[in-house]
Structure 1
Amino acid sequence: MAPVAVDTTQQQPLSVNDIAPKKLQYLPNRAFVLRETKCFVYEERPVPDLPSNKHVIVAIKATGLCGSDIHYWQHGEIGQFKVSQPLVLGHESAGVVWQCGPAVKSLQPGDMVALEPGIPCRSCSYCKEGRYNLCPDVKFAATPPHDGTLTTYYTVPEDFCYKLPSSISLEEGALLEPLSVAVHCAKLAGISYGNSVLVLGAGPIGLLCCSVARAFGAAEVVAVDIVPSRLDFARQYAATKVYRMEGLLPEENASSILSGTRKSEGFDVVIDATGAQSCISTGIHALRRGGKFVQAGLGASEITFPVAQLCSKEGVYIGSFRYSAGDYDTAVKLIEQGSVVVKDMITHSYSFDEAEKAFQNVVQRQGIKTIIRGVGV
């Protein structure tokens, strides 16, 4: 693999054998709480009750850190969502079923599961259409005012748990959440065999978009970033080519990117995983006529981009929001079949007692993906 810094305390991937026979042993319900901006504290809380007879309680064993977690910690808000009371962060998680409601049929205590962290209302028109990611009343973990998964126990409906096959570790299970984001982008773009794909941003989401694009049949996948170490990783991980963004005009960067590809007329699909105005503009200039542009990353709430270019190409600009029906199932299959390898992205792992150190590691842009292990692991 590429020369990415690896934390020397990292453990081997957690499997069910690593936590048996203590996997169902009671542990205090500790929570890692953002009390206010840049201030974390540990609290011991009561074990949560089952909200319904179709819920389960999961003992969280692995949580990946996301950019939104860091942003809430550093700034206390993202757009309309503000941290106005203590909040537990974390939403990329996997663990072991600890208790089941009486109506739960597909799971039992001891099962290893990944958690889908956004629970919709199930009754609005979006939910009924299968686009529950657009539900206006969704309760998403670690989005104010809803607590996240950096705690010993977390409750979730049975059907928002995904049982992990024995070949998938708990750390890999935690990365099903960002992988599902990438799957959703690829589905929105309609990536298919032989396509050329440009991915702007080689962070975790961008890298996973590269890998999913390859798994969906893309023949050429170009990754763009400004950090050389991430491009080195992308080249070894999933990209067929990489490009380091230069301090040029967007159309000049686009021209340079296209000069090294097989399709000089432009990419069939462009995915922006940065939210940066310069990257979005570059991507539109690099899009072929009739191509699809998927916006996966968010930066400033308002940006300026070359709309005349987009219109003259009759390009399709698509917003992407989290994931929806079938995306988690697809993500599980991609890992199980070896089509996408997420374990290579896990470069740092910290104990629950070192959770703040894990946050600091991400801020310092060390490695690719950071995992916080659960209480007692």
Structure 2
Amino acid sequence: MKIVHILTRLLRAGSEENTLLTAARHVAAGHEVILMHGRDVLPEFARALAPGAELVAVPNLVRNLSPVQDPAAFLEIRRLLREIQPDVVHTHQSKAGIIGRFAAASARVPLVVHGVHILPFLGVGPAQKAVYLGLERATARMTDGFIHVSEGMRRACQDHKVGASRQHFVVPSGFELSRFRQAVPPEGWRDLLGLGSDAPRPVVIAMLAVLEPRKRHLELLREIAIFLKQLPELHLVFAGDGHLWSAIEDTIRELDLENQVTLLGYRTDPERIIAMADICIHTAEREGLPRTVLQTLTVGRPVVLFDLPGIEEIITHGVNGFIVPQEDWEGFRERLGQLVSSPERRAAMAAEARATPLDRWDADFMARRTLEIYEELLPRSLLREAPA
């Protein structure tokens, strides 16, 4: 089977990692996989996670709306698809999802699938919602199947009449479960936190997320600055990279939090950062089912986060984590304070986190189930030609 994935960006984020892990396993199973991506790309990262998959650049595919580049990207993708003649086009992310599906339909690709990692019409103003929802409904007519990362995403699509019920499937966003189940803190954790050899160990709060506005690092800093200063035994670490790095650095200095907040940058060992932490947090305003939250539970750490569609699939409020209503920063601080002040509560919730059943989030299951959906949807004539 020849499979083309189309992504707006191919950087170090959840939707990209999900796609790359799936692609790697499909290549290993004997399928031809092509990763078609926009201007923003980290090719070394992609090749490391998905060796054997071919990278094809579409320079006009950019994240922001562009009346010049968007039509050019459509024509470019359609031309490439006509040359490649794939059996399956699987789009990801909002921009690539719209342009890629229009291009795939125009190129008469046999099967067009869209991966729903996040829904652009949720958590935005009425005008934006109307535009995004109109585009999603239009492209749904040329989509054979939707693969959602959570039941919450599927329900949101069905509630908003995006596609027919029979088109929607749920495949949890997988990762290497065994790696996180066996995680231990990094050997140099004191150096990472800037601690001397005699300094007492602080209570470590970790947030693993791309440094972009939707994750709300800047709001978090301003909302918990006083909370941190009142509890000097706390240390907050941000693991991740992104274009807000300088703004976050400036805000840390402005709030005089240099001794309590550390920017770690992108880490190839996120499981070790989680294992170093006592508590993990997640403050995204819009998201599918966050992989880092799943990874946090796998390592065995309680999490405090804002409510997201489908989050109740994995977080039982007050048991393995705390779910706070969106924008309720006072409630967020209160729940965080409860965990900080009670080592016994942290330990009990950590044990519940580790006991959370997460086998469905294994990367091998994700790749296998995705392939089954392709085969279920593809015309029978193509199935006869697919590798055994």
Normalised by the shorter chain, which TM-score bucket? Answer: 0.3 to 0.5
Greater helix content: 2
Pair member with larger Rg:
2
TM-score, length-scaled by structure 2: 0.33
